[in-house]
Structure 1
Amino acid sequence: MDEAGQQKFRERLAARLTDLAEGEALGRDGKKVVTLDQQAVGRLSRMDALQSQAMAQAASRLRSAEERRVRAALARLDEGEFGYCTDCGEEIAPARLDQDPSVALCISCARG
C-alpha cells in the first residue's frame, strides 16, 4: 500500500477514535447509578431507568471494543503490517479495508 493510501486510512481511523470518544462522553449520564427512591420515581419509571442504564453500559462496552480494534489498526499502520491478515499474513482485500479499516483478518480467516 502506498503512502497516500496509508494516510487516508490513518485519517479515517483517527476520526473514528474521535467519534468514539464523543459517544462515550455523551453516554456517561446514562451509565450513572439509578436511584431507587420510591418517593422520587415510580416503579415503572425505575424499570425504564434501569433498562436505559443497561443499554448505555452495553453501548459503552461496544465502543471500548471498537476503540481497541481501531488502536490496533493504527499500530499495524505504524509497524508496516496494515492491510495484511494477522492470522495467515495474506493481503486483506482493499474493498474490505474500505468498508472497515480496523479489520485484522482476511475474509477467509474471518469465516473460519
Structure 2
Amino acid sequence: MTDELSKTEIAALKKLLTDRQAELKKLDDEAIEWRSTVELDQQSVGRLSRMDAMQQQEMAQAEGRRRVLDRTRIAAALGRIAQEEYGWCAECGEPIAYRRLEIDPAASLCIQCAH
C-alpha cells in the first residue's frame, strides 16, 4: 500500500475542510452580537452585570481569533490541494498519515514533526 493519498481520500478531506469553513463562517455571523460594545443598562432588572458582559465579550473575541486561525489553516490546506501538494509534511516532506488528516484535515506537519 502506498503512503500517497488517493483521489477519493483527498476528495473526502476536501469536503471536511469546506464543511468546516462554512461552519466557521456561520459561527462568525452568529457571534457579531457578542463582540459588540458592552453598555450598562441601569433600567434592566436581572441582566448580567457589566463585568459578566465584558467577560463574555472577551471570550467571544478570543473564539473569533481562533476561528480566524482555523480559517487561515483551512485556506492553506485547500491551496495545497489545488497545487497537488496536500498530504505531505511541510517540514520533512514525508507523507502525512490519512488518519491524522481525518482528525485535522488542515494539518501541514506529520506527527513526528508536529512534536
Whole-angstrom distance in 2 between the partners of 1:34 and 1:79: 44
Give the aligned partner of residue 20 of structure 2.
16
Q: How does 1:82-101 map to 2 (within 5 A)?
A: 82-101=86-105
Give the aligned partner of residue 46 of structure 1.
50
> Any unmatched runs of 5+ in structure 1?
none
Q: Percent identity?
A: 39
Give the aligned partner of residue 76 of structure 2.
72
- Structure 1 runs (4+) deviating above 6 angstroms are none
Give the aligned partner of residue 27 of structure 1.
31
Whole-angstrom distance in 2 between the partners of 1:77 and 1:106: 16
State the TM-score, normalizing by the size of structure 1. 0.90
Whole-angstrom distance in 2 between the partners of 1:52 and 1:6: 38
Structure 1 position 36, deviation (Å): 3.9
Instruction: Please report the RMSD computed on the Cα atoms of aligned residues, expressed in angstroms.
Output: 1.5
Whole-angstrom distance in 2 between the partners of 1:94 and 1:57: 33
State the AA in 2 paired with 1:82.
Y
State the AA in 2 paired with 1:51.
Q
State the AA in 2 paired with 1:97.
L
State the TM-score, normalizing by the size of structure 2. 0.88
Deviations 1:45-76 (A, max 9, x none): 10010000000000000011001011111000
How many pairs are equivalent? Answer: 109
Whether 2:67 is the aligned partner of 1:63: answer yes
Structure 1 position 2, deviation (Å): 2.0
Structure 1 position 5, deviation (Å): 1.5
